[in-house]
Amino acid sequence: MESLTLAWPLAQQAFDPSNLPLVTGSPIDGHFSKAMLLVILVGAVAYWCLQRGVVRSKPLAIAGASLFGLACVMAFSAIPKPTTFPEDNSFSDYLEPVVKMCFCLLAAGGGLGFIVAREPVHAALGFATCVLSTCGILFMQHAYFIAAATMIVYAGATIIIFLFVLMFAQQTKLRIYDVELTRPAVAAFIATALLITITYSVSDEGEILPTKMDLTRSRSLAAIADNPESELPPVSQPGMRKEESAKFVPSKTSGLGRAMYTDYLLAIELAGTVLLVATIGAIALAQKPEEGVS
């Protein structure tokens, strides 16, 4: 009860719309991180209730789900929204954070279902929801190639996992290792501490300046700067303010390919080698052992 009376003014302060920064407005103050801290704590309690209630009692599970919904509403109300509805073509600017937040909440819900569900098939479905929503967020971050690649790799992986689950765990009865969790309270505590640390370290108000790629190497992106197709970040002059320099969004697949095959050629080759070694290793591991070999 005491903690509730302590937390209530904090929540009021955090969710007062007049305190929230506007879209076009000032830099972020501490309200956002405070709201996020509250969301994290409520989410942790929701996880604890859900993982207990799914097995033990239905009301506890319902309470956990509603707590998760509360956390979603709190997170949703914490994002800044413009106070006036835009008349002109800036409607997408208005809609973008809302859609992004919806993807975030969907992914979090899928992840929560994934770690709470006792049926392996339900857990795999939650994982698929989580990963596909994350791909949606990547699309909205203009990382189109990686979003597509992630979707293909993870969707393929998820289908394989589905096959494995159906092969290994196709039982009418639930197994004990699916029902029983090892110390969920301790795990939830560790994850909450980690998240609080991340939130505090991320909610720094300092501005991160755009950094150029390494321009000293001869074959890097700087060497092809004359090429009109090349994707170079804008060179920010010392006297220029941030708003004046055009904002560069790394969205083009061609630019990503150039960066991969000029600046990171060795790393890409090594990644290919690792893939080859992993393929050989997987084939060697999955072979049936010969008779008499223990």
Q: Rank residues 87 and 205 by Cβ distance to another protein and give the closer one.
A: 205
Q: Rank residues 8 and 168 by Cβ distance to another protein and give the closer one.
A: 168
Kindly state the smallest distance separating residue 80's Cβ from another protein, in Å: 6
Q: Rank residues 74 and 124 by Cβ distance to another protein and give the closer one.
A: 124
Kindly state the smallest distance separating residue 118's Cβ from another protein, in Å: 10
Q: Rank residues 4 and 101 by Cβ distance to another protein and give the closer one.
A: 101
CA-to-CA dists, residue 60 to 45, 238, 286, angstroms: 11, 58, 43
Q: Rank residues 95 and 267 by Cβ distance to another protein and give the closer one.
A: 267
Kindly state the smallest distance separating residue 152's Cβ from another protein, in Å: 10
Q: Rank residues 14 and 101 by Cβ distance to another protein and give the closer one.
A: 101
Kindly state the smallest distance separating residue 277's Cβ from another protein, in Å: 8
Task: Assign 3-class secondary structure to the chain.
Answer: CHHHHHHHHHHHHHHCCCCCCCCCCCCCCCHHHHHHHHHHHHHHHHHHHHHHHCCCCHHHHHHHHHHHHHHHHHHHHHCCCCCCCCCCCCHHHHHHHHHHHHHHHHHHHHHHHHHHCCCHHHHHHHHHHHHHHHHHHHHHCCCHHHHHHHHHHHHHHHHHHHHHHHHHCCCCCCCHHHHCCCCHHHHHHHHHHHHHHHHHHHCCCCCCCCCCCCCCCCCCHHHHCCCCCCCCCCCCCCCCCCCCCCCCCCCCHHHHHHHHHHCCHHHHHHHHHHHHHHHHHHHHHHCCCCCCCC
Kindly state the smallest distance separating residue 217's Cβ from another protein, in Å: 14
Kindly state the smallest distance separating residue 108's Cβ from another protein, in Å: 6
Kindly state the smallest distance separating residue 1's Cβ from another protein, in Å: 28
Q: Rank residues 62 and 160 by Cβ distance to another protein and give the closer one.
A: 160
